[in-house]
Amino acid sequence: MARTVVEYLNAICPTMVADPSYAVFVDIATDQTSQSYFGDAYYSYAIALRAAHEYTLAADPLRSKGESGLITAKGDGRLTIHYLHNMNRNSKSDLNMTHFGQRLLSLIRKCGAPVSISTTAFTLGDGVIPEAEGDYL
């Protein structure tokens, strides 16, 4: 039985569903998630993971001024936070910033090979596909 996005969110991130703005995050995640890639079996789960990821980043009090990057260290007392700022959305590395994003990366790997874009011309008859410059989903 396929579950709905809200059922998944109630299970994985109930605090998000309690927030009146949660539907905005679901809309954003729906726009960013490919049904053809995830298929009927995982589409709702992928949307829920992406929505929870975006919500977690937005709701993080440590990011109250819009800071970005993976948090690499936290202090105590006179609060100190260090960010890794070379995050690149094209390489999906921002998904590593939350455990929901990391689950989504695992689901992406499970559902199939990433689509690659290359500027190198090749002929399908050659039997060799050149190394891609990046992968996108």
Torsion of CA 42, 94, 32, 113, to 10 degrees: -50
65 vs 36: which has the higher pLDDT: 36
Which residues span the domain enclosing 90? 5-136
Per-residue pLDDT averaged across 13-40, rounded? 93
pLDDT at 23 over 70: yes
pLDDT at 100 over 80: yes
Check residue 50 and give its pLDDT.
95
Q: Who's near 99: CB < 8 A, 6+ residues apart?
A: none
Question: Is residue 69 within 8 Å of 87, Cβ to Cβ?
Answer: yes
Check residue 99 and give its pLDDT.
86
Task: Quote the CA–CA distance of 42 and 44 in Å, as a whole number.
Answer: 6
Task: Quote the CA–CA distance of 131 and 117 in Å, as a whole number.
Answer: 9
Per-residue pLDDT averaged across 67-75, rounded? 53
When divided into structural domains, the chain yields a total of 1
A 10 A CB-CB count for 92 gives: 18
Check residue 33 and give its pLDDT.
93
Check residue 95 and give its pLDDT.
83
Task: Quote the CA–CA distance of 68 and 89 in Å, as a whole number.
Answer: 11
59 vs 88: which has the higher pLDDT: 59
Share of the chain above pLDDT 90, in %: 36
pLDDT at 16 over 70: yes
pTM over 0.85: no
